[in-house]
Structure 1
Amino acid sequence: MRRSDFSYDLPPELIAQTPAGQRSGSRLLDVGLDGDAPLADLRMTDLPDLLDPRDLLIFNDTRVIPARLFGRKPTGGRVQMLVERVLGEHEMLAQIGASKTPKPGGTILIDLPDGRIAELVMIGRDDDLFHLRLSSGGTVMQLLDTAGRLPLPPYITHSPGSEDAERYQTLFAAKPGAVAAPTAGLHFDDALLQRLRERGLRIETLTLHVGAGTFQPMRVDDLSEHRMHAERYEIPPALADAIAQTRANGGRVVAVGTTVARALESAATAPGIVAVGEGETRLFITPGYRFRIVDRLVTNFHLPESTLLMLVSAFAGYERIFDAYRHAVAQRYRFFSYGDAMLLTRAEPAHPTE
């Protein structure tokens, strides 16, 4: 398949610019499995009734950091940076926007609110990212906390405000490191989580620090030529045990978001078994991929021609997904990070023996 196979027409006014009035107030499209079955227009509050008490619900506990920085060259030219990854206390990888990007040894200055100036020194390149060292101004995380801004997605047109500071984080956000939110988790509030627990579902977390590459357009049309951006993840022992127990009890593994799905599939060593510990993934999931861990998926609506749209097409079936997207456009669902959600069921067994 080619990138152009994943294009669709989306009226711009359906791109959500603000979150729903309350987290669980979004709409939920139950896509189901049977291609002949009608799509169900529901609400997020209907989700507990769609899941089995034996199911396991998995969230991403990454926290979005204030990763957007604005600086200047010593000559006065403006520089914008988006920190992709923090490398220890004083180094980072970042995207840089400037009239002329700094050369190795060049510096970027950031004016701090207290009048001090933080200095970043360019070390070199790592693919499309710039390796920078903070030579003054404290640690990288202190710099971000002091001078950074929340990195809202490029299709959200307003500047980040106090509402975004709260609503562009999930209730599970605990481990700083992401530059984009795991947006499927934004739909869950305390009341909905309590209803899920009362129904008997087990809830666990993993960590995948979402990188800015999630918004980068593919530059090739042939999917086999695309190289995914790297993202860090961690699978805790409790989660690995919960997955094994869920499968043994006849329950299903429900991933809340494509970030959770990618982490689980990257850590899979066999159907229903994941390796505990930290890792880095460049896994690119396209139609034809056989899922080994995830049975159901809660996810938002994704950008045309994006790797995330390819992932959900692999999960629920290409034709079924595009039927669902056409339906969502016709029914005026809200799209992308602050938009509505879908509930998907895996189109094929996780393994030929299942």
Structure 2
Amino acid sequence: MSLEELDYELPEALIAQRPSEKRDECRLLVYNRTDGEISHHIFHDIVRYLREGDILVLNDAKVIKARLFFRKAETGAEIEVLLLRQIDENRWISLTRPAKRLKIGTELKHESGVLCARVIAVLEGGERLLELNYDGDLLRILEDIGEIPLPPYIKRKRIESDFNDDEYYQTVFAKNLCAIAAPTAGLHFTESLINELMKNGVSVKTITLRVGYGTFKPITTDNIRNHRMEQEDYFIPRKTATDINKGIATGRRIVACGTTVVRALEDSYYKSGKVKYGWSTADLFIYPGFKFKVTDALITNFHLPRSSLMAMVSAYVGLDRLKEIYRIAIEEGYRFFSYGDAMMIK
């Protein structure tokens, strides 16, 4: 399958720069795989489509303030750093900008004085391996001096006093501080909506997938089968695994909230023949031809063209049909990407 097949044209005006004022009042497109029907709603209407007995699975990963602005110790030039993946206590694989200025041995200092970094390797993909120097708890330090790492297509100023990304770019159920991007399909849920679903007999379960570079790394190979997914760690609680496996055996519908949940559940089943409790590492690349074993319905946002997420959703619904859904969504003025509207495929 060629990368070109995952492409589509999107008017720039439809790239959401802010979320809906109320999380569950964004728009919701519902696609029924049985009869091909498409309908248009607000997100809160999802209560009509999640029924008693369903198992709704959420990713409770919380976004780290992993975006930092350092100065080169030698010249004072500003360097932007995105911490991607922790290798051990002090070493992180990182994206840096401008990268060409960072050679092995380059020293970086943060204006706060509480964090320094040194480049100890230049990796094959251009990432830098940084050794961090600090005292105390790194996550607490990042909460104080870091910024939420918004995607580059959100082109607002770094800080806008009238808008709080620290709040809006976290799900209301975020618990485990471990991700560098939000599981964005979950951004649309409110606590009251989740409570309403539970009262209606929907079983709500969580997993934790540390959303990392693997989720948004661009596909650069012409043949997407040659794309290598970056690893992402995930944890499936014992009760979640038990209930999902029982649900599969008894015909209950497993509803994945977001591609990160799909990746964790399908990776676990692919490796073990069931959804397995505990920590594991996902490197599964899902593209057309993949046979889903766990996911019966999917809640997701509208994704970037030529991306691994576009490949995953096209595997779930069919590439031609997905492109038709996207064409209709564009005609209807849906908002795309992380802060955009949602769709449910059932």
Name the TM tier (shorter chain). Answer: over 0.9
| Corresponding residue number in structure 2 for 1:154 | 152
**Structure 1 consecutive aligned stretches of length 4 or more whose deviation exceeds 4 Å:** 269-272
Query: Is this contact kept in 2: 1:258–1:299, CA < 8 A?
Result: yes
Residue by residue, what CA displacement relative to the aligned partner does 1:301-329 show, whole Å, maximum 9, x if unpaired?
A: 00011110110010111122111101100
| Corresponding residue number in structure 2 for 1:348 | none
SS in structure 1 at match of 2:19? coil
- Please give the alpha-carbon distance, in whole angstroms, between the structure 2 residues aligned to 1:226 and 1:168: 28
What is the deviation of 1:271? 9.3
What is the deviation of 1:105? 2.9
State how many pairs are aligned: 341
| Corresponding residue number in structure 1 for 2:239 | 238
Matched AA of 1:341: A
- Please give the alpha-carbon distance, in whole angstroms, between the structure 1 residues aligned to 2:123 and 2:189: 36
| Corresponding residue number in structure 1 for 2:52 | 53
- Please give the alpha-carbon distance, in whole angstroms, between the structure 2 residues aligned to 1:271 and 1:89: 30
Aligned ranges 1:25-64 → 2 under 5 Å: 25-34=25-34, 37-64=36-63
Matched AA of 1:70: F
- Please give the alpha-carbon distance, in whole angstroms, between the structure 2 residues aligned to 1:163 and 1:272: 42
- Please give the alpha-carbon distance, in whole angstroms, between the structure 1 residues aligned to 2:91 and 2:280: 20
Gap regions ≥5 residues in structure 1: 346-354
Matched AA of 2:115: A
Do residues 108 (structure 1) and 141 (structure 2) align? no
SS in structure 2 at match of 1:315? helix
What is the deviation of 1:54? 1.0
| Corresponding residue number in structure 2 for 1:292 | 293
| Corresponding residue number in structure 1 for 2:118 | 121
- Please give the alpha-carbon distance, in whole angstroms, between the structure 2 residues aligned to 1:143 and 1:90: 13
What is the deviation of 1:164? 1.1
Matched AA of 1:187: H
Bigger mean CA deviation after superposition, 179-188 or 315-324: 315-324
Query: Is this contact kept in 1: 2:103–2:122, CA < 8 A?
Result: no
Residue 251 to residue 270, structure 1, CA distance change in 2 (3 Å)? farther
SS in structure 2 at match of 1:273? coil
Aligned ranges 1:172-187 → 2 under 5 Å: 172-187=173-188
SS in structure 2 at match of 1:103? coil
Query: Is this contact kept in 1: 2:248–2:294, CA < 8 A?
Result: no
| Corresponding residue number in structure 1 for 2:80 | 80
Residue 336 to residue 302, structure 1, CA distance change in 2 (3 Å)? same
Residue by residue, what CA displacement relative to the aligned partner does 1:83-106 show, whole Å, maximum 9, x if unpaired?
A: 102344422221111363433333
Query: Is this contact kept in 2: 1:70–1:80, CA < 8 A?
Result: yes
Matched AA of 1:298: I
Matched AA of 2:138: V
| Corresponding residue number in structure 1 for 2:343 | 342
| Corresponding residue number in structure 2 for 1:349 | none
Residue by residue, what CA displacement relative to the aligned partner does 1:130-174 show, whole Å, maximum 9, x if unpaired?
A: 222222454432431222111111110113555211110001111
| Corresponding residue number in structure 2 for 1:303 | 304
Q: What TM-score do the two structures reach when normalised by structure 2?
A: 0.93
Do residues 210 (structure 1) and 211 (structure 2) align? yes
Query: Is this contact kept in 2: 1:149–1:160, CA < 8 A?
Result: no
- Please give the alpha-carbon distance, in whole angstroms, between the structure 1 residues aligned to 2:61 and 2:246: 24
- Please give the alpha-carbon distance, in whole angstroms, between the structure 2 residues aligned to 1:326 and 1:15: 14
Residue 14 to residue 117, structure 1, CA distance change in 2 (3 Å)? same
Matched AA of 1:73: K
Bigger mean CA deviation after superposition, 150-159 or 131-140: 131-140
Gap regions ≥5 residues in structure 2: none
SS in structure 1 at match of 2:21? coil
Q: What TM-score do the two structures reach when normalised by structure 1?
A: 0.91
| Corresponding residue number in structure 2 for 1:66 | 65
Do residues 258 (structure 1) and 255 (structure 2) align? no
Residue 190 to residue 150, structure 1, CA distance change in 2 (3 Å)? same
Residue 272 to residue 199, structure 1, CA distance change in 2 (3 Å)? farther
- Please give the alpha-carbon distance, in whole angstroms, between the structure 2 residues aligned to 1:267 and 1:85: 21
